[in-house]
Amino acid sequence: MIALIVVLSAAIIVSFTLPVFAQVQDTAESVGFIEAVKEIPVAIKDGFVDLKDDIYSVLIEDDNYKHITNGLGVTLEITFFALIIGLLLGFAVAIVRSTYDKTGKLKLLNAVCKLYLTVTRGTPVIVQLLIIYYLWLGKMGVSETATAIIAFGLNSGAYVAEIVRSGIMSINNGQFEAGRSLGLSYFRTMIYVILPQAFKNVLPALANEFIVLLKETSVASFIAVKDMMKGANALVGFTYNMNIPYITVALIYLVLVLALQKLVGILERRLRNSEH
Amino acid sequence: MNTENNTIIKVTGLEKSFKSVEVLKGIDTEIKQGEVVVVIGPSGSGKSTFLRCLNLLEMPTGGSVEFDGVNITDKHVNINKHREKMGMVFQQFHLFDNLTILKNITLAPVKLKRMSKKQAEEKAMELLRRVGLEDKANAYPAQLSGGQKQRVAIVRALAMNPKVMLFDEPTSALDPEMVGEVLDVMKELAREGMTMVVVTHEMGFAREVGTRVVFIDEGIIMEENEPEEFFANPKSPRLKEFLSKVIV
């Protein structure tokens, strides 16, 4: 909350002080310094009035804000589904990779997973998005939003995979042996014993990945997805005002990330139950 | 089934190498129903490896292990089925840190559909009562002392109704004052007729509870005998030397 207030006030100060200084300088040239200083409060007041007018004309008039709020819906939709794809894919890849590391089984699958990780982590997400859209899904008539969900899901899966794998490897092998000694299969031991503990250990790293994912979806506008960023760009296009749309979008992203952090914090506390 | 002579585990020519290091060099032994076999030996002698080969936590590189008449070293055998009947207790307890004591005990019986959740919980509570820990059912492992953890680990293994219990240095990681409470539980188990294989440094336990003591050194069984004779008249020079160094 404090961070939000700081950024908000910084944004407001920047958008007014520049015109105010310009005005004071003009006044100083014509009527002298003292008079110019006297003009400052008036200039600030004018600045506020201007800002109010700008906000009104850029965001409120003609329901312009809908460009951003509709975009927000799309941004959340892409993030949510990409997150689910990323989690499922990431856990699956992590299980294959650590099974290979621990037992030497699943050699072929492990090679496929490694290739996927190398390609995904070795190229920029924007390039992946464009390739997936123009060379594959776009050609097949898949919608832009669905394409973005798949592209970001595939991308996030690679990072989630390595995070989860590090979590699995961090669990003492004795936990595995205890599970196996009771007659639980390798897979059951993984699901009931190892993964819950691994998940708890990597939750902060996973949260970080989700935050990155949420913000990264802003490049979806490159394939004409009508997300929040696209909405802001549209507003800039027809209002000729750069400040208000971008600052508004920045603030919304910030609020979303803060909300996500809060949720993760609650989950983390709940999972720490077993440690007192 | 080898019911006529009551053999539960039959080990033949058991070998285990880790890369180029030969740990077990051919072990032959039989463990009969109701026996309490205590395995002793210097560190690095292969006694823990031997125990871990019995339920295939280590895959033998040679020889075979028969459990209940089935050669479990055969590749086509579903080892999970047989492990259900071989309880194991570890030096470092290895309780599932993310689960309560009760869930630690009921996880395997419930997930493997051996019992309903209710049956498993009743059984778990009954076993916990026997080791004096029923008030810890809803605690987490991190809240227990070492001795308590090890008693829970024993209960966890017992909840599967095993035919044999394997103990891998169960008291070695405990504070001295907690060794007794764990040994007491093991003694009671032995009295009830549980078949047990115990790797330990507790010579008192071997003498008091063991029906047979096995001395493993340099990857083979150097000597084995019933406890009294074993400690009173050691035959091989290595065992004599070993016993002279440990407090009996």
The secondary structure of residue A135, as a DSSP letter, is I
Cβ atoms within 10 Å of A237's Cβ, excluding its own:
10
Question: If you average pLDDT over residues B154-169, what whole number do you get?
Answer: 97
Task: Choose among B87, B94, B100: nearest Cβ to A175.
Answer: B94
d(CA B169, CA B185): 14
DSSP helix/strand/coil, A181:
helix
Measured between beta carbons, the chain B residues lying within 8 angstroms of A191 are none
d(CA B210, CA B233): 16
Question: If you average pLDDT over residues A10-14, what whole number do you get?
Answer: 67
Scanning B65-104 for CB atoms below 8 A from A yields 80-88, 90, 92, 94-100
Determine how β-strand B164-168 pairs with β-strand B86-89. parallel
d(CA B229, CA B221): 16
The pLDDT assigned to A1 comes to 60
In percent, the amount of chain B with pLDDT more than 70 equals 97
Average pLDDT of chain A? Answer: 90
Q: What's the pLDDT band for A19 if we cut at 50, 70, 90?
A: low
Place of tokens 């014993």: A193
Task: Choose among A182, A274, A276: nearest Cβ to B98.
Answer: A274
B108 contacts chain A (CB < 8 A):
yes
Task: Choose among B90, B100, B156: nearest Cβ to A174.
Answer: B90
List Cα–Cα distances, A185 to A53, A99, A112, A179, in angstroms.
67, 13, 24, 8
d(CA B211, CA B201): 16
pLDDT at A15 over 70: no
User: With a threshold of 0.90, does the pTM exceed it?
Assistant: no
Select the more confidently predicted residue: A57 or B66: B66
Contact (CB, 8 A) for B216 and B47: yes
d(CA A115, CA A121): 10
Backbone angles phi, psi at B19, to 5 degrees: 50, -115
What value, to the nearest 5°, has the Cα angle with vertex A84 and ends A130 and A3?
A: 85
pLDDT in tens, B38-54: 999 998 899 999 999 99
The pLDDT assigned to A52 comes to 83
What does the block give as tokens for B105?
A: 């005990």
In percent, the amount of chain A with pLDDT more than 70 equals 92
d(CA B202, CA A241): 82
pLDDT at B237 over 80: yes
B173 contacts chain A (CB < 8 A):
no
Select the more confidently predicted residue: A60 or B13: B13
Q: Do A181 and B86 touch (CB under 8 A)?
A: yes
ipTM of model over 0.90: yes
- Å between A276 CA and nearest CA of chain B: 7
Range scoring the smallest mean pLDDT among A33-42, A177-186, B40-49, B69-78: A33-42
pLDDT at B1 over 50: no
Q: Do B98 and A180 touch (CB under 8 A)?
A: no
Cβ atoms within 10 Å of B206's Cβ, excluding its own:
23
